[in-house]
Structure 1
Amino acid sequence: MAEDLRTAAAGQAKRLKCSSSNQEAEKKEENGHQAKRFKGDQEDGEDQNKKLQKRKIVLLMAYSGKGYYGMQRNMGSSQFKTIEDDLVSALIRSGCIPENHGEDMKKMSFQRCARTDKGVSAAGQIVSLKVWLINNILQKINDCLPAHIRILGLKRVTGGFNSKNKCDARTYSYMLPTFAFAHKDTDPQDETYRLNKETLEKVNQLLACYKGTRNFHNFTSQKGPKDPSAKRYIMEMSCEEPFVREGIEFAVIKVKGQSFMMHQIRKMIGLVIAIVKGYASESVMERSWGEEKVDVPRAPGLGLVLERVHFEKYNRRFGNDGLHEPLEWLDEEEKIAVFKEQHIYPTIINTEKEEKSMLSWLDTLPIHDFNSTVSKLQVSDGNAKNSDLEASDGCDDDSD
């Protein structure tokens, strides 16, 4: 009997102690001490994810680059916001990667296929990385991203895949108002200009001259004529039929190449514009591939878009191995087209109308001296580049 009383008393004391502890915990929560429980919930979620194995994937990205200092993240330079800043934040918040991976992106084996410069957009950027393959992963990532950055597709890849090194070629487009091709002496230099058939043929004749392997040391910076890396292979380059938007006629130039250097595409287009407008002779193009230093103008960054990247060799080896899909995005083509119509084209058109970047740049062409090796503009342009912290161009995918 005495033993039963002692057991009952001990049980009652235990219940009172638990009740007191619960009341104390509730009181702490009322006083704002909820962080400890929340942290525990976070750790539980992360522990649950850790049970999943990290997998190497690629993400198909589209973004409007206006307001960003390019694609590549600049650790320690938070004032210069990049596309990757928003992407990494979304990956962490959606639960795809642990928080410490955001501080050191090597931990998730992160690699972008091509860097894009300040203000440059992309419709088919590819990044490779290791993530936890959580449920509804694309939706959860996109829920944490602004509307002008979207993840449009995801595919599993081999463990050693690197989106930059495995890329065979890149295709860029450059959308510009056609008055850029208006001859300086005979055509109207404003939005009333319309591109005729003869001028379009001339443009395409000049663009076709770039095809093949050329020495493009005059189309970038800090590379000499003897530098082997200045030689680049261009597969295709042409200007499509013009179209009218918001009262302005535009045209799109497409270029596909194995790889591109800093400023290369914008300078390739800039030189063609200078020739068609009558500021430079066609012989300047031939001279630019030689050892002589030639002053090549650089077209504005607005209008440059990374359209797609190509993985032909990878697809041939792994695309039909039964474990991996080919890195092609036919099912995502409609989503890509919709994104361009909603976010990329309107940004290019509206910015051109408001800021008149092409008109302003065209006014600088007379300053260039295409017959000499150095011009006043190159000096001022270099100073502007340093002050603007342009570390990479819209098509700089191999200057790491």
Structure 2
Amino acid sequence: MIRATSFFRINPSRRLSIPQISKSTKMDDTKPIDDQTRDELIATVGRLQQKCTALKAESSKYEAMAQKFLRASSAKKRKLKIFDPETTHQRRIALKVSYFGWDYDGLQDNAGLSDSIEKILFLALRHTKLLVADPDDLTYSKCGRTDKGVSAFSQVFCMKLRSRIHVKDENSLNEQGNGSVNPSDDITNHMTVDTTDNDVAPINADSTLTEFDYCQVLNRVLPREIRVLAWSYVNDPEFSARHNCVGRIYKYFFPRGTLDISAMNVAAKKLTGTHDFRNFCKINVRERLVYVRELRDLRIDPYITQGSGDDGEYQMCVATITGTGFLYHQVRYMMSILFLIGQGLETDDIIDDMLDVEKTPRRPQYGLTAEYPLALYDCKFDTLEWNLSAEAQIRIQEDLQKIWLSLAVKTSIARSMMTKFSDDMKLRTDDSEGHKDADGNISRFLMFEKWSRKQYRKILTRQTANSLEEKISHLENKRKRKHESAEETSE
């Protein structure tokens, strides 16, 4: 009889061919391994191997079931995590937001628009569970409404959001009169901190408060083109981001081309002051009947950045427009007239004629400038004090640097391509004969008018729209006919 120990000692590297164990093979589990024959030992090994395979399959099945149960349990917990507005503390928060509006459908979320700034911002607020208020109790307001393609350096929204700070005495804070809570203020006697909401990151640890870091939380889920720059408490129950704004600044960027910037600045001074701007906007009598606005300043300067200088016709310029409020398309209509003056097609006298609504009661038809060079630069408030954590500041700077890098490289490539094409065309002709440079007035591409200097028609000689009074009368007659029709139907 061959012992098991001697078998493995003699054949250490031999690979056993284990036969299929039939049901007729008798297994004696009580017989020691040392006493088993070769055939019995081989049968025992085969049986143990089959048991191991079966146990492994059984283990895999239970492990898969356990993983499935854990996933279902986690999903169930997430699904049941609902914030009750009745138990969640909320207060009014102002958010300062910047966005590149070139690829979006404007600020306001109107029906049929899928990519409005407002819609994306509200999706982010709901996704982060910062917005839990009922829509009717949101007390929502925004500083201004930018059109499709228009950007904003500083847009302000105000709404009711979740907060960790529980104000025990709102009246004591309102008496401070600053409309916000600065982390450096000693106001902890009026507040308690809710530490149960740990799903949203707090602001810097060196702050005396432990408030949500609204900027950091929202910027994690927002597209890179939309950034929340700062936030502020709003304690005035009557505060409105639109009506409490004490000043708005717009900027319009454009290349100098062959424009006469001095003539444009002379004309721009005539636009400053308080005027009726009905001939410099789109009239909508359903929403507005008064078109008087105060324009505090309008000037055009070269836009010089570090390392840049006079770049000829490609030198960028910027028009800075400051006022308390603006009408629909007002900035773009004013820039259209200034461009025409800068090209020598109109004189600055047209400004006087169009501001005189008795002399020019109907707006002549003329085109708008493009929307993408326009940006809402700043919105000023006397009662808001802005907060921004160091972590959020670094993240915002990095995001803006990434966007700048992409656009700067693409701009350099496009400029280099234009230069090379022009040089190649000169080399293909002898002494530049037959070579003709394009019109240097590249700013004309920002105008929505197709004209040439020979065919240009003066603004005041063009066809006009209905006057404001005519539009009001037409609307009243339409409403009157609708009312009479409704009365006849009811009878």
Quickly name the TM-score band, shorter chain normalised.
Answer: 0.5 to 0.7
Partner of 1:166: 244
CA contact (8 A) 1:279 1:365 kept: no
* Deviation of the 1:204 alpha carbon: 1.7
Q: 2:461 matched to 1:372?
A: yes
Deviations 1:329-363 (A, max 9, x none): 9x999998887666479769968969x99443446
Aligned equivalent of 2:226, options 124, 143, 149: 149
Deviations 1:266-288 (A, max 9, x none): 11111011012111122211111
Q: 2:119 matched to 1:30?
A: no
CA contact (8 A) 2:230 2:387 kept: no
Q: 1:290 to 1:223 in 2, by over 3 A?
A: farther
Q: 2:93 matched to 1:63?
A: no
CA contact (8 A) 2:294 2:324 kept: yes
RMSD between superposed Cα atoms in Å? 3.9
Counterpart of 2:298 in structure 1: which amino acid? M
CA contact (8 A) 2:268 2:338 kept: yes
Aligned pairs for 1:270-281 within 5 A: 270-281=336-347
Q: 2:149 matched to 1:119?
A: yes
* C-alpha separation in 1, matches of 2:410 and 2:280: 28
Aligned equivalent of 2:301, options 240, 243, 262: 240
Q: 1:245 to 1:82 in 2, by over 3 A?
A: farther
* C-alpha separation in 2, matches of 1:370 and 1:28: 78
* C-alpha separation in 2, matches of 1:333 and 1:28: 43
Q: 2:335 matched to 1:269?
A: yes
Counterpart of 1:275 in structure 2: which amino acid? I
CA contact (8 A) 2:224 2:399 kept: no
CA contact (8 A) 1:368 1:375 kept: no
Query: Where does structure 1 differ by over 4 angstroms across 4 or more consecutive aligned residues?
Result: 26-29, 244-247, 331-354, 365-368
* C-alpha separation in 2, matches of 1:163 and 1:129: 9
CA contact (8 A) 2:232 2:387 kept: no
Q: 2:116 matched to 1:77?
A: no
> Which protein has greater RCO, CA pairs closer than 8 Å, 6+ apart?
1
Aligned pairs for 1:277-292 within 5 A: 277-291=343-357, 292=360
* C-alpha separation in 1, matches of 2:271 and 2:220: 42
Partner of 1:21: none
Counterpart of 2:374 in structure 1: which amino acid? L
Q: 1:361 to 1:239 in 2, by over 3 A?
A: closer
* C-alpha separation in 1, matches of 2:355 and 2:408: 31
* Deviation of the 1:105 alpha carbon: 4.3
Counterpart of 2:297 in structure 1: which amino acid? E
Deviations 1:198-234 (A, max 9, x none): x43322221111110111111112258xx85211100
Q: 1:295 to 1:54 in 2, by over 3 A?
A: same
Deviations 1:96-150 (A, max 9, x none): 013xx6xx74442222111111111111110001101253332111101011111
CA contact (8 A) 2:266 2:348 kept: no
Q: For 1:240, what is the secondary structure of its paired residue?
A: strand
Q: 2:127 matched to 1:93?
A: yes
Counterpart of 1:147 in structure 2: which amino acid? R
Higher deviation after alignment, 335-344 or 108-117:
335-344
* Deviation of the 1:299 alpha carbon: 1.2
Deviations 1:244-296 (A, max 9, x none): 59963111111111111111001111101101211112221111112322334
Deviations 1:34-65 (A, max 9, x none): 2x752443433625x86441110100101100
Q: 1:203 to 1:346 in 2, by over 3 A?
A: farther
* Deviation of the 1:73 alpha carbon: 1.1
* C-alpha separation in 1, matches of 2:442 and 2:381: 34
Q: 1:203 to 1:360 in 2, by over 3 A?
A: closer
Counterpart of 1:112 in structure 2: which amino acid? K
- Where structure 1 has 5 or more consecutive residues not aligned to the other structure, the ranges are 1-23, 184-198, 316-324, 377-400
Q: For 1:270, what is the secondary structure of its paired residue?
A: helix
Partner of 1:387: none
Q: 1:357 to 1:305 in 2, by over 3 A?
A: farther
Deviations 1:301-324 (A, max 9, x none): 121011111223xx3xxxxxxxxx
Q: 2:43 matched to 1:43?
A: no
Partner of 1:311: 381
Query: Would you say how many aligned residue pairs link Structure 1 and Structure 2?
Result: 313
CA contact (8 A) 2:230 2:386 kept: no
* C-alpha separation in 2, matches of 1:211 and 1:342: 38
Counterpart of 1:176 in structure 2: which amino acid? F
CA contact (8 A) 2:270 2:352 kept: no
Q: 1:340 to 1:219 in 2, by over 3 A?
A: farther
* C-alpha separation in 2, matches of 1:246 and 1:27: 71
Q: Report percent identity of matched pairs.
A: 20
Q: 2:381 matched to 1:301?
A: no
Q: 2:204 matched to 1:204?
A: no
Deviations 1:8-57 (A, max 9, x none): xxxxxxxxxxxxxxxx9x959738982x752443433625x864411101
Q: 1:336 to 1:113 in 2, by over 3 A?
A: farther
Q: 2:288 matched to 1:250?
A: no
CA contact (8 A) 2:255 2:442 kept: no
Q: For 1:96, what is the secondary structure of its paired residue?
A: coil
* Deviation of the 1:239 alpha carbon: 1.1
* C-alpha separation in 2, matches of 1:326 and 1:286: 41
Aligned pairs for 1:374-389 within 5 A: 374=463
* C-alpha separation in 2, matches of 1:344 and 1:165: 33
If the length of structure 2 is used for normalisation, what is the TM-score? Answer: 0.55
Q: 2:159 matched to 1:129?
A: yes
